[in-house]
Amino acid sequence: MLGGILQAAGGLGLFLLGMSVMTDGLKSMADERLRTALARTTKGPIRGAFTGALATAVLQSSSATTVMAVGFVHAGLLTFSQSLGIIFGANIGTTLKGWLIALIGFKLQLGQILLPVVFVGMLFRLTSRGRVAATGTALAGFGLIFVGIDVLQDGMAAFEGIVTPDNFPSATVGGRLLLVLIGVAFTVVTQSSSAGVAAALTAVHTQAISLNQAAAMVIGMDLGTTVTAAMATIGGNVQARRTGLAHVVYNAMTAVGAFILLTPYLSTVDIAFPGACATEPELVLVGFHSGFNALGVIVILPFTTQFARLIIRLFPERGNPLTRHLDSSLLGSPEIAIQAARATLRDIIESAFGELVRRIDSPIARREAQPLTDAELAVDQTRDYLQRLRIDSQQPAWLTEYLRSVHILDHLRRVIVRAGSTLRLKHTRADAELSAMTDELLSAVEILFEAADGVTPEQASQIFQINSRLKQTMRDYRRLTMRRTAAGELDTQTALCRMDTARWLSRLVHHAMRIAEHSVDQPEVATADDKPQ
C-alpha cells in the first residue's frame, strides 16, 4: 500500500517534471515567434481563439498562454477585448495532452520506449546551445511525461481492489459538487490541470474511480487552472486584472455548463456507442473534456463584446489612464516592458496633441486652459520606468527602441510645455499667413493620429515635408512682418507676438516630426540640415 502511494506520487512528479521541462524547451524554441504571432493574429475573437488554442498546443500549458496574454495586455500590445480570444482558445488547446495520453500513453505503454529519447534529449541540452539545446530539452520533457504516466499507472495498480469508486462521492448532485472541489484542489496543489487530467485518466484506466466521478473531477481541474492566471495579475494594471478576472469568470461559466451537461453527455455516448463507457472510458473522458471546452468557446464568441463590457464594469479604470500600461512586473522582460512604454507614449501623444488641437480650434478651451497634468505626470512616470529598465547589450534592436523612446519623451515634454502658451494660441488665427501655418501644424498632427498603430516611413516623410515648408514659410513671414511694421501697418508689440507665434508653430511641427521619426521602424528620414530647435 505504502509502496503504491510512493510510486504513484513519484509518477505524478515525473509527469509534472516532464511537463515543466518540455514547456521550457518549447518556449525557448518558439518564444519570440509565438509572442509576435499572438500580438499580430488576435485582432478578432475568432482569430484570437484559434491562436490561443494553437499557442497552448505548442507550449502544452494553458497557464503559460494565459499569463503571456496578461503580459501583452500589461504592455499594451493587446487590448483587453483582444486578449479574450486567447483565453477562450487556450482551454481548447490544453485538451490535446489528454488525447495523447488516452490514445498513445495507455495503448502503447511508451514509458520504456521513450527512455532513450530522454537520454538523447539531455545530450542535446548539455552539448549544444540555442535552438538545438531547446529541442533537446523539449524531447527530454516529452519522454518524461510518458515515463511518469507508466510509473503512475503502476502505482495506481497497487490500489486495485483497495481503492474503488465506492471510496469517492457518489454521482448525486452533492457528490459531484464535492468531486469538482477535489479537482479544483488537485490543480491548485499541482499548478497543472494537465497533471490532474492525467491522474484522472489513470484512475479511470485502473478502475480506481468511475468515469462519472472522473468527469466531475475534470470539471474542477479546468476551473482550478484559473488560479495561476489570477495570481499573475496581482500588482498588475487594470487591463491585466480584467484579463485574469475574465479567465476566472469564463472558466466558471464553462464549468457550470459542463456540470449540467455531464449526465446527458454520458447518456448520449451510451446510445451512440454502446459499451464505450465501459471499454474505452479514457477516450470518453477526454472527449467530454474537449467537448465542453469547445462548446463553451462556440457559445461565448458571439457575445465577446458584451462579456468584455461586463468585466470592464466590474473593474473600472482608476488613476492616470495614460500610464495604465506601465507595470513594474514587466521590467524583467525588457522587450515587453519597452512595448509597454511605447504604448504609453502613444497615449501621451494622442492626449497632448489632442488637447493642443482643441485649444487652437476653441477660444473657450484657450481661456479655460489648464496644465496638462496627466500628460506631464505620464511623461515623468514613463521616464522613471525606462530608467529602471536594463537592456542587454546583446540585444541591439531593443536598445535602439529604448533610445527612441527616450527621444520621444524629450519632444513630448516640450510639446506639453508649449501647449500651455495661451498668448501664442490666441494669435494662431491672427492673420492669413499664421492661419495657414496653423493648418500645416494640424495636418502634421492628423498624420500622427492616423499612425496610432505605428508610423510608416511615408507618414514620417509627409511630416518632414510639412516641417521643411513651415520653416521656410516662417522665415518669409518674419521678413513680411518686419516690412509691415516698418510701413506702420503693425505696432512693434503685435509684430513681436506674431513672429513669436510663427516660431512657436514651427517648433511644434519640428517636435511632431521628430516624434514620428523615432516612432517609425525604418531609419530616420531627417536630413543633415534639420537641426534641433
Q: Would you state the pLDDT for residue 468? A: 92
Conformation bin of residue 286: beta by default, left when phi > 0, alpha when psi is -120 to 50:
alpha
Q: What is the mean pLDDT of the chain?
A: 78
Q: Would you state the pLDDT for residue 36? A: 58
- 13-27, 118-132, 315-329, 365-379, range with greatest mean pLDDT: 118-132
Q: Is residue 169 part of a domain?
A: yes
- 306: domain range? 2-314
Same domain assignment for residues 269 and 356: no
Asked if residue 454 lies in contact with residue 519, where contact means CB atoms within 8 angstroms, the answer is yes
Same domain assignment for residues 295 and 343: no
- 39: Cβ contacts below 8 Å, ≥ 6 apart: 72, 77, 78
Of 314, 349, 373, the residue at which a domain comes to its end is 314
Q: Would you state the pLDDT for residue 163? A: 47
Q: Is residue 362 part of a domain?
A: yes
**Mean pLDDT, range 467-494, rounded to an integer:** 91
Same domain assignment for residues 283 and 333: no
Q: Is residue 525 part of a domain?
A: no
pLDDT confidence band for 259 (50 / 70 / 90): very high
**Mean pLDDT, range 374-403, rounded to an integer:** 80
Same domain assignment for residues 229 and 136: yes
Which set of grid coordinates corresponds to residue 70? Answer: 496578461
Residue 102 is given by DSSP the state: I
Same domain assignment for residues 493 and 391: yes
pLDDT confidence band for 83 (50 / 70 / 90): confident
Of 291, 314, 337, the residue at which a domain comes to its end is 314
Residue 260: is its pLDDT beyond 70? yes
Of 282, 314, 346, the residue at which a domain comes to its end is 314
Residue 30: is its pLDDT beyond 70? no
Same domain assignment for residues 310 and 341: no
Same domain assignment for residues 91 and 139: yes
d(CA 260, CA 298): 17
Q: Is residue 526 part of a domain?
A: no
Q: Which amino acid is at 454?
A: G
**Mean pLDDT, range 79-86, rounded to an integer:** 76
If one compares 315 and 460, the residue with the highest pLDDT of the two is 460
| pTM given for the model | 0.56
Same domain assignment for residues 436 and 417: yes
Same domain assignment for residues 175 and 27: yes
Characterize 42-65 residue by residue with b for buried, 16 or more Cβ atoms within 10 angstroms of its Cβ, and e for exposed. beebbbbbbbbbbbbbbbbbbbbb
Give me the numbers of helices (H) and strands (E) for the chain, helices first please.
24, 0
Long-range contacts of 174-181 (CB under 8 A, 24+ apart): 175/216, 176/216, 176/259, 176/262, 179/213, 179/216, 179/217, 179/220, 180/216, 180/217, 180/219, 180/220, 180/223, 180/255, 180/259, 181/220
Q: Is residue 529 part of a domain?
A: no
Q: Is residue 501 part of a domain?
A: yes
Per-residue pLDDT of 189-217, as tens digits, reads: 766 677 777 778 878 877 778 888 888 88
Q: Would you state the pLDDT for residue 499? A: 92
Asked if residue 200 lies in contact with residue 218, where contact means CB atoms within 8 angstroms, the answer is yes
**Mean pLDDT, range 280-290, rounded to an integer:** 88
Distance of CA 255 to the CA centre of its chain: 24
pLDDT confidence band for 465 (50 / 70 / 90): very high
Q: How many CB atoms lie within 10 A of CB 102?
A: 24
Q: Is residue 530 part of a domain?
A: no
Q: Which residue has the cell 502658451?
A: 421
Same domain assignment for residues 364 and 279: no
Which set of grid coordinates corresponds to residue 379? Answer: 511623461
Long-range contacts of 170-176 (CB under 8 A, 24+ apart): 171/210, 171/212, 171/213, 171/216, 175/216, 176/216, 176/259, 176/262
Same domain assignment for residues 468 and 492: yes
Q: List C-alpha distances in Å: 192 to 29, 64, 153, 223.
A: 21, 11, 18, 11
Which set of grid coordinates corresponds to residue 378? Answer: 505620464
Which set of grid coordinates corresponds to residue 398? Answer: 531593443
Residue 277: is its pLDDT beyond 90? no
If one compares 377 and 113, the residue with the highest pLDDT of the two is 377
d(CA 184, CA 55): 24
Q: Would you state the pLDDT for residue 268? A: 92
Same domain assignment for residues 502 and 393: yes
Q: Would you state the pLDDT for residue 531? A: 44
Residue 149: is its pLDDT beyond 90? no
Per-residue pLDDT of 482-515, as tens digits, reads: 999 998 888 999 899 989 999 999 999 999 999 9
Residue 82: is its pLDDT beyond 80? no
In the chain, how many domains are there?
2
Q: How many CB atoms lie within 10 A of CB 452?
A: 11
pLDDT confidence band for 419 (50 / 70 / 90): confident
Q: Is residue 198 part of a domain?
A: yes
CATH number at residue 485: 1.20.58
